[in-house]
Amino acid sequence: MSNPTLQAFFLGRALATAIGEKLEEAMTTGMSSVGRFDAEQREWLHQFVESVFEQAQSSQTVVPADANGAGTSEDLQATIDNLRAEIAQVRVALQQYRASS
């Protein structure tokens, strides 16, 4: 192979093949990561929905009913107070997260 043009051709061909292989590998890895992320997010969402439904089910059984079928006002007030406390905790955590970002 003493012809420089012929050497340049084979060098270019080898370079194009190598670049194509690396590009294919990068695309495969990227698509795999996207697929894995999608599957993880779907699983997380499924577990979250199940958790919410379980909490709703357990909350229904916790609220006592009197003879008229209504919950007592003391239990209702305690539930409201607990929810307000949880909302305050979430707000504090959100403010701390925003401050650290």
Cβ atoms of 35 and 23 closer than 8 Å: no
Mean pLDDT for the stretch of residues 83-90: 93
- What's the confidence (pLDDT) of residue 30? 93
- For residues 4 and 32, state if they share a domain: yes
- For residues 53 and 32, state if they share a domain: yes
- For residues 41 and 75, state if they share a domain: no
- For residues 55 and 76, state if they share a domain: no
The DSSP H or E segment spanning 2 is none
- What's the confidence (pLDDT) of residue 62? 58
Residue that wins the pLDDT comparison between 101 and 84: 84
Q: What percent of the chain has pLDDT over 70?
A: 88
pLDDT tens, position by position, 44-71: 999 999 999 888 888 877 555 554 555 5
Domain span including residue 70: 65-101
Mean pLDDT for the stretch of residues 23-45: 93
- For residues 47 and 2, state if they share a domain: yes
Query: What value does the mean pLDDT of the chain take?
Result: 86
- For residues 43 and 73, state if they share a domain: no
Cβ atoms of 71 and 64 closer than 8 Å: yes
Report how many domains make up the chain. 2
* Residue that has been written with the tokens 């979430």 in this structure: 90
Question: What is the C-alpha separation between 7 and 5, in angstroms, rounded?
Answer: 5
Cβ atoms of 37 and 29 closer than 8 Å: no
Mean pLDDT for the stretch of residues 76-90: 91
- What's the confidence (pLDDT) of residue 88? 93
pLDDT beyond 60 at 89: yes
